[in-house]
Structure 1
Amino acid sequence: MSDAVIRAVIDTDPGLDDAVAILHALSSPAFDIVGIMTVAGNIGIDVTTRNAGRILAHARRSDIPVVAGSAAPLSRAGFDTIDIHGDDGLGGVSFPEPAVPPHADAVEWLADLLLRESAMSLTILALGPLTNIARLVLDHPEAAARMARLIVMGGAIDEPGNVGPRSEFNIAADPEAADIVFRAGIATVLVPLDVTRKVRASRSWTAGLRETGVPAAVASADLVDAYFQSSSGRESRPLHDPCVMLYAESPALFTLERLPIAVELETDDDVGALVIDDKDGVLLDVTMKVDADAALGLLARRLSGG
């Protein structure tokens, strides 16, 4: 685990597991979160933006700006995930209303920030579709080139997909954006379903969080329990988005492989699938293994104030 504090922007579509990931980053001394950008993904942009503000209000961190981003994919219709995340995107879990209004135009805001900050000093933690980052690459390539690294929850390599036979939600929601970002030359770490499905919260894990009485831990327990309510008979639920923060904070918990990745853009029933393509793929660092028990332990410790 590095002693250097990670200065970061979170790009997100909260979202139950997004909310847990954000609470982790806000609770951990490993991160200095300088802003939260929102994107339509799990639910519409107005709701994701409101939810980001609600999470910050709960954490008493409304000093961190929320900046509304892309309301739709670059060229496609989005997905409807109300059945998983609920009408409010947070499974009905109680959060306060935002304490301050959001800013507008995440892409312009991020470009200005990257150009003001020292080059290679800012990490982007991407928990949703990559629409905002693709627009940054297209509209402000000089700013995008100053990004230290991009850590992306998305895709599936050997695992089946969750919205298609091989496609995962975040990439499939805006595959053109993912293709643009992956080909932009940004130092990128991809965190696919191959590891996120191994980091699984059980009901006993959420009970342990709740027993601490720490607000971030209790809220996270409620969020994961809302996940359980959206599916019957499951003994555990994967914590997809928190794996981005876990990798950023403690990369030693993960095993990386450098793989030539291409995004499937043509196949209607599996658009957004990731293809290993030695000819046309882009070499990306991909997390393929994880010490799941240690990852869950670190997440619980941070959420509980440790």
Structure 2
Amino acid sequence: MTVIDTDPGIDDAIGILLAFASPNFTIAGITTVAGNIGIETTTRNASRLLAFAGREDIPVVRGAAAPLSRVGPEPLNLHGTDGIGGVALPHPVRLPDDRQAVKWLADFLMEQPAGIVDVLALGPLTNLARLVLEQPEAARRIGRIIAMGGAIHEHGNVGPRSEFNLWADPEAAAVVVASGLPLVLIPLDVTRRVRATREFVEALSASGKPMPAKVANLIESYFEGEANRESRPLHDPCVMLYALSPQLFRIEELRLSVDTGNGELAGALTISPEGTPVQVALGVDGPAALDLLARHLTTIEASASRRESSTS
């Protein structure tokens, strides 16, 4: 059973639609967090993705609007003013759950057998950190967290050694890493090896099915320009791809700590004997990962997708 914690986000949206398309995921809920863009937009985008996929049975729960103890980042321009590159999606059908994400997560985890709920974390780790701090008994019932975040040997994307999700709330990342909860980290070292080609996008579009066609639109908005033959890295879908096929990834256990300073290394990961053991993906079979993404999108019929005439 899976909960997706997310700040959609173009690549978040691709990962979420992959999870909808695959029978391997039983999605219990989507919790939102501010990150790529503000909380109102990330929550609305999550609800719009559910409306497109005809999955209004899944609750969306509004989460943290700001980091634990610092000012939140400015919205990322590469995701557009709507957070998803201007790709058309229907209006939300179902209102978000009345509870806040931490309360909903705690209630849900306490209702389930310990260890059966995985959290796929695609954005800053604020909601999970608050769960650890405020509801530790519930947090200990999580089976594992698979989180996109960090950079180990790669240069960062918001600083010399800092990746956006951890940089956006370093204190939250430090809480989650130090918690000792089962954690698999998918850093830039892996996600930069998973990029779509123009031919890949064309193949998705040619499938004639709504779900892969929409993912093709999202990936198309993730190319930097017409001349580029490869997209920006498909960061967040790598979380779902790892959950589906961990054998495609090379995992090492590293002892990590998170820099919580205010300088250019905020959110940076350090390997040291004093760090907490974390399972970290350091390699991936990129072509096989893309093939897995395409197979799950094109071999499963999308359920009750909305017609384009109903999109906003």
**Shorter-chain-normalised TM-score: which range?**
over 0.9
Aligned partner of 1:258 in structure 2 is 253
Sequence identity, in percent?
56
Query: Partner of 2:206: helix, strand, or coil?
Result: helix
Aligned partner of 2:171 in structure 1 is 176
Residues 214 and 305 in structure 1, CA contact (< 8 A), matched pair in contact too: no
Moved over 4 A (4+): 230-233
User: How far apart are the structure 2 equivalents of 1:56 and 1:284?
Assistant: 32
User: How far apart are the structure 2 equivalents of 1:212 and 1:287?
Assistant: 31
Report matched runs for 1:109-128 at 5 Å. 109-128=104-123
Match of 2:271 among 270, 276, 280: 276
Report matched runs for 1:147-226 at 5 Å. 147-226=142-221
RMSD: 1.1
Deviation, structure 1 residue 215: 1.1
Query: Partner of 1:268: helix, strand, or coil?
Result: coil
Gaps of 5+ in 1: 1-6
Aligned partner of 2:88 in structure 1 is 94
- 1:87-145 CA-to-partner distances (Å, cap 9, x unmatched) read 10010000001111001301000000000001101000000000000000000000000
Counterpart amino acid of residue 169 in structure 1: F
Deviation, structure 1 residue 82: 3.8
Match of 1:71 among 48, 51, 65: 65
- 1:6-55 CA-to-partner distances (Å, cap 9, x unmatched) read x1000000000000000000100110001000000000000000000000
Aligned partner of 2:307 in structure 1 is none
Deviation, structure 1 residue 232: 6.4
Deviation, structure 1 residue 231: 4.9
User: How far apart are the structure 2 equivalents of 1:305 and 1:110?
Assistant: 32
Residues 136 and 144 in structure 1, CA contact (< 8 A), matched pair in contact too: yes
Gaps of 5+ in 2: 301-312
Residues 259 and 285 in structure 1, CA contact (< 8 A), matched pair in contact too: yes
User: How far apart are the structure 2 equivalents of 1:143 and 1:291?
Assistant: 35
Residues 134 and 177 in structure 1, CA contact (< 8 A), matched pair in contact too: yes
Residues 24 and 299 in structure 1, CA contact (< 8 A), matched pair in contact too: yes
User: How far apart are the structure 1 equivalents of 2:299 and 2:33?
Assistant: 29
Deviation, structure 1 residue 233: 4.4
Aligned partner of 2:308 in structure 1 is none
Q: Tell me: CA distance 1:82–1:161, structure 2 relative to 1, closer, same or farther (3 Å).
A: closer
Normalising by structure 2, report the TM-score.
Answer: 0.94
Aligned partner of 1:303 in structure 2 is 297
The number of aligned residues is 298
User: How far apart are the structure 2 equivalents of 1:69 and 1:129?
Assistant: 11
Report matched runs for 1:19-30 at 5 Å. 19-30=13-24
Normalising by structure 1, report the TM-score.
Answer: 0.95
Worse-matched range after superposition: 296-305 or 163-172: 296-305
Aligned partner of 1:3 in structure 2 is none
